[in-house]
Structure 1
Amino acid sequence: MTQDADAREATRPLAGVVVLDITRVVAGPFCSMLLADLGATVIKVEHPDDPDYARTFPPMVAEGDAAGESAFFSQFNRNKRGITVNLKSADGKALLKQLVAKADILVENFRPGTMDKLGLGYDVLRLCNPRLVYTAISGFGRTGPNSSRPAFDNTGQAVGGLWSMNGYPDRPPVRVGTIIGDLAASLYAAIGTLAALRVAERTGEGQVVDVSQQDSILTLTENAVVRYTTKGEVAGPLGNDHPFVRPYGQFACKDGYVFFGGYTDKFWRLTCDMFGEPHQADDPEIDTMEKRFDPDVAERKVKPLLERWFGAYGKAELEAMAGDRIPLSAIRTIAEVVEDPHVAARKMIVEIPVAGESVRMFGSPIKLSRTGEIPLGKAPMPGEHTRAVLMELLRLDDAEIQRLLNSGAV
């Protein structure tokens, strides 16, 4: 590295932190990607004959006659180095232990007990490195009667209560339209990992970070838990409504829909003024926030007003009218979000190389004022950096690496 490159590397928040990522799909890869985006050296470990099957997920980007690379995979594995290790072989187990001795963090998302069966559980690996932060992401966590059950994202949404709350009251529940169980678990895992890393740096002692999809989803249910425990109310689907705040939801306009959240007295009065009907704010039936919260009043008096007002304008017109004064936003399609000038100004759409092309994908929402931008690199091909990592991190020579290759360990 040049002196300037060394200086830039040193400013990365997690510079010098080595992460072993033995996860697949999203719950895990997203966690380690966040660490990589913050400057950690993340080494993605895959089986030489059975790599992460998210590599086959669409959309695929092809180069010439090649089968192509997955943009989906690249989005969650950028900035990582890739090696292959067969964790079922004796040489592969020994190699992982050597890598653990040089690492700060290991992230895995196997079903609880799988790493123990391989002889590579935390109690074994901590003997190789007492400072190791061992982060385990699973459907139900490492303890409890359901810990050994298989799980996917939909499992977390189902057993965490979120699925039962989503949709419309007169229809069956609807899953949230993204893999929020995987994503939420990864976010909590990243937070827990960094907390445990601080402890390890201070005390020299690592620990297990145990994050479950069910637990993570449960924390996203807003007021549902306390409504049940205090009032016995079971939250159900509400469509686009809020359980008690009104007006606060989706409203149709000339060319689509907007979110409007002007439920406070201040925002309500500003809204009435904006539409040229200031007297509506003094209507004795809807002149206070508490009155507008009443479901019957909201349906009979407030909703017709808003539908009449919003129906006369388009999304862009309404946003311009509301400006910085009133909480009103267009409900954008993904195409509109990707092309949004504000999103561009926040550098939330970045270009990452995939199969020789530059693919736009989401950037990092973490903005650090002193560190500045951290360059984002491509996702690795299976085993792309095996030789380099084994030479740099473990100081293995060519002959030993070739022996491991020949034995199928890497």
Structure 2
Amino acid sequence: MTNASVAPGSTSRKTHDAEPGALDGVVVIDITRVVAGPYCSMILADLGATVIKVEHPDEPDYTRTFPPMLQGDGARSMSGFFAQYNRNKLGVTINLRHDDGKALLRRLVESAHVLVENFRPGTMDKLGVGYETLRQINPQLVYAALSGFGQHGPYRTKPAYDNSAQATGGLWSMNGPLGGPPVRVGTIIGDLAASLYGVVGVLAALRHAERTGEGQLVDISQQDSVLTLTENAVVNYSATGEVAMPLGNQHPFVRPYELFPCADGFVFFGGYTDKFWKLSCEIFGAPSDFADNPDLHSMAVRFSDEAYRDRVRPLIEGWFRSRTKAELENLAGDHVPLSAVKNISEVVADPQIAARDMVIETEYEGFGSLQTFGSPIKLTRTPPRVRGLAPHTGAHTETVLRDLLGLTQDEIADLRRGGTI
């Protein structure tokens, strides 16, 4: 395998931040759609990899139709959802049902370092471009397969979505109001977690390939990923037999560490240690709140159901009831853990978010500007590039086939006429 990449000046680097990233020179083939997969390859692209997003010419990633839709010139529209998870990528169309399309993918793999796919296990094998086939072409290839239940096991061929992972990974069963029915976590946490673990796996496998010349399969399951997000549920069950149930906004064993109402909304307050409890009594309450309750000086007492329900929580509610979120945050300062519960409009305007460059604005010609989340990975020498564009369907097909594979214009035209690209 060579370190070939698309020729300078013809890549998406025109839309990227100027400096090369930490993964500069790494070529990634992205055969994914929706989120579990596109988010993984987007992070690799942010970190400097050249990511080639492969879509079917007639059936592109259907998140291109997901809201919100940006209206452009004439009747053109563009999905902000798609743009958020596909920035910094080169768009290529290849029909993998065509023999010529499979041949193109095999040629791309010769010069690639990573391939990411999120089909149901066995799909790529049926197409004749699965891991065992591609590793014969490129022994150093890191092949990342993200799926609902992984590449082996009794569930491997089941169809799956994020909700499937939340349901079978245990998270859904323990989320919801205290004493109430389970409630889905309010985001696609299974997709996102699988993508993040996918990045970790790819980077580890790349390091191994650089050292040994040996690629490998990175097998990521959404169910596995969700299970690791259940905190103490597994160890608590194995040690005591206790099954985690919905607790609302409470923590399984730490108190106070939850949501509290205030004059204009809600705050999270986590003053559960003895140090923080004493400070909280001094900052929010009356001098007597601490002195008059010597038995509450111990965490063990405050954690007990009866003391927390009858004395600790009512005391805190009295402190917060007449104060606003801003007043409480100002009082807490850097002394005790208290944070306003912010809606997304407040988060976008948050000065800490701004200081960390976590809401970024990208200009799409003909559509205007689009705000999306930035990168939480902060590197001092090779910072992520976060303002690159998401490609239109097949926008870079000719560029990639010409510059990476050396195809002529006539060969590219023949492939287009035949419906391969």
Tell me the TM-score range normalised by the shorter chain: over 0.9
Equivalences, count:
407
Work out whether 1:34 is the aligned partner of 2:28: no
2:69 to 57, 60, 63: 60
Structure 2 distance, partners of 1:396, 1:177, is 47
Contact persistence 2:285–2:319 (CA under 8 A): no
Structure 1 distance, partners of 2:359, 2:134, is 38
1:279 corresponding residue in structure 2: 288
Distance 1:202 1:373, change over 3 A: closer
Contact persistence 1:25–1:53 (CA under 8 A): yes
Q: What letter corresponds to residue 248 of structure 1 in structure 2?
A: Y
Q: TM-score of the superposition, structure 1-length normalised?
A: 0.97
Which of 291-300 and 8-17 deviates more?
8-17
Contact persistence 2:37–2:117 (CA under 8 A): yes
The 5 A counterparts of 1:4-403 are 11-282=20-291, 283-354=293-364, 355-372=366-383, 374-403=385-414
Q: What letter corresponds to residue 177 of structure 2 in structure 1?
A: Y
Structure 1 distance, partners of 2:87, 2:386, is 11
SS at 1:251's partner residue?
Answer: strand
Q: What letter corresponds to residue 23 of structure 2 in structure 1?
A: L
Q: What letter corresponds to residue 233 of structure 1 in structure 2?
A: E
The Cα of 1:295 is off from its aligned counterpart by 1.0
Contact persistence 1:353–1:377 (CA under 8 A): no
SS at 1:286's partner residue?
Answer: helix
Contact persistence 2:201–2:218 (CA under 8 A): yes
1:118-165 CA deviation, whole Å, 9 max, x = no partner?
A: 011101001111100000000000011110100000000000000001
SS at 1:285's partner residue?
Answer: helix
Which consecutive unaligned segments of at least 5 residues does structure 2 have? 1-7
Q: What letter corresponds to residue 395 of structure 1 in structure 2?
A: G
Contact persistence 1:106–1:132 (CA under 8 A): yes
Q: What letter corresponds to residue 392 of structure 1 in structure 2?
A: D
Structure 1 distance, partners of 2:305, 2:82, is 45
Contact persistence 1:9–1:15 (CA under 8 A): no
Percent sequence identity is 61
The Cα of 1:11 is off from its aligned counterpart by 4.4
Q: Which has the higher contact order (CA 8 A, sep 6+)?
A: 2
Distance 1:9 1:361, change over 3 A: closer
Structure 2 distance, partners of 1:241, 1:373, is 36
Q: What letter corresponds to residue 402 of structure 1 in structure 2?
A: A
Q: TM-score of the superposition, structure 2-length normalised?
A: 0.94
Structure 1 distance, partners of 2:287, 2:226, is 42
The Cα of 1:9 is off from its aligned counterpart by 6.3
Distance 1:9 1:198, change over 3 A: farther
1:173-205 CA deviation, whole Å, 9 max, x = no partner?
A: 110000000000000000000000010111111
| Alpha-carbon RMSD | 1.5
